[in-house]
Copies of this chain bind each other. A is one copy, B any other.
Amino acid sequence: MVSALARLKGFEKLTSIDEAFSTLLKKLKPEKLTSERIPTHVALEHVTAENVTAEKDLPPYDRSAVDGYAVRAQDTFEASQFSPKILRLTENEVRENEARQIWTGDPLPKGADAVVMLEYTKRIQGKIEVGIAVTPGGNVSKRGEDVQRGEIAIKAGTRLKPHHVGLLAALGVTHVNVVKKPKVAILSTGNELVELGRKAKPNQIVDSNKLIISSMCHELGAEPLDLGIAKDDLHEISTKIHEGLQWADVVITTGGTSVGYSDLVPAAVNQIGTPGVIVHGIAMRPGMPTALAVLQGKPVFVLSGNPVAAMIGFEVFARPLILKLLGVESEPRPALKAKLTQKVASALGRRVFLRVTVFERDGEFFAEPLRIKGAGVISTMTKANGYVIIPENREGLEEGEFIIVHLFDKIEGT
């Protein structure tokens, strides 16, 4: 059924997403990650290019975990609520039957090996009553108990979040080696397109795909380059793609992928060099006419001109490849289990990406499928906040079924 349909559409066969992606990976020139050294205070969201090893212990000294009195634990062994032990206060080294006031985070004074919490003490003129026994090490954060010198504090391939940046600072790391942002050249094709800011004639539409794809690149930490719009012209398209290959690590085009009069982008790619297009026609919906190509050892993603299909094509193929170029093993979108509010039909033999709106009600998550009128309908993306992947072997999903939703926007509370 699928292959008959594919033939009618002009495709010899449809390739599964997984096979297509692994074919692409095999044809790419394995690129060594290039790194750059940047100050820690601008490293947020960058990806570490190598392990960061702690050059000091954290905490750097034994310190109090509470507000209270530093003591020698053995001096408290007999203390209890009803028979408190009396200790002399000191401002110096803690000796036998002495205590020294201490606040959370303060270094443990010499002689002391434990801290009695403020709550279990009573102060009476230069002395304190201790109403509890503490064991050696009690209420003390030992030097190195958080991070030990020589330990790997942050692994290579880590996307730096606020807490990672904080850990780097605590370790005294002023600069960090991060992976250089991959460069992505983006081209829109189509006679009907005009650039945002130009006046659209009645039969023209404003190009939105370049802005969508470049925004998705920004989100990943890649650097987009705008190759502009190419008319449906073989020479113009191949010239622009060639230009993109000069400096970018990845080229992405949208439009002109149908097998029809406008099957120009795959042809333009093949004019430039080998191997050129390696897969054309994917068993997915939306995005069937997607093509994957390799030129100069670099990936070229030839995506559909429909905005939603282009976004899904980016999500499925370009996103994991760009993450690979960043050295990130995987970075799944936030996912959750939700209950499907109504039955949906799918297409056997294709992986279907169903846009849904997830909402929370009484602590339960529900996913409502959007009524979809076509892959060109961009408002379905602004109304949805996630998508569900319906696998190739399912004809549809049942109402009430628990499904995993991948989120690309926030969930509205109720």
* A→B interface (CB under 8 Å): 5, 8-9, 40-41, 44, 58-61, 63, 65, 67, 101, 103-107, 118-119, 141, 145-147, 153-154, 159, 161-172, 174, 190, 192, 196-197, 200, 202-209, 211-216, 218-219, 258, 260-262, 305-307, 311, 330-332, 334-337, 360, 363, 365, 373-374, 376-379, 381-382, 404, 407-413
Contacts and interface: CB of A to CB of B under 8 A. Distances in A.
Contact of A379 (B40, B60, B146, B332): B146
A167 B59 CA distance: 50
A184 to B, nearest CB: 13
Given A162-B215, A205-B59, A373-B145, A103 B170 contact: no
A147 B174 CA distance: 50
A169 B211 contact: yes
B411 A335 contact: yes
B215 A306 contact: no
Given A67-B258, A410-B332, A162 B311 contact: yes
A306 B211 CA distance: 42
Given A59-B205, A166-B209, A103 B258 contact: yes
A280 to B, nearest CB: 15
A129 to B, nearest CB: 14
Given A153-B382, A166-B381, 15 more contacts: A9-B67, A60-B200, A61-B202, A65-B374, A105-B190, A141-B373, A147-B379, A159-B410, A162-B212, A167-B379, A170-B208, A172-B200, A174-B196, A332-B411, A335-B360
* Copies of the protein in its oligomer: 2
Nearest to A158: B382
Q: Most chain-B CB neighbours within 10 Å: which of A213, A336, A404? A: A336
Nearest to A383: B163
* Smallest CB-CB A-B distances: 3 pairs: A334-B334, A162-B215, A163-B381
A65 B376 contact: yes
A141 B215 contact: no
B170 A305 contact: no
Contacts of A404: 363
A378 to B, nearest CB: 5
A328 to B, nearest CB: 9
Contacts of A167: 208, 378-379, 381-382
A267 to B, nearest CB: 15
Residue from A153, A166, A332, A337 having most chain B Cβ neighbours under 10 A? A166
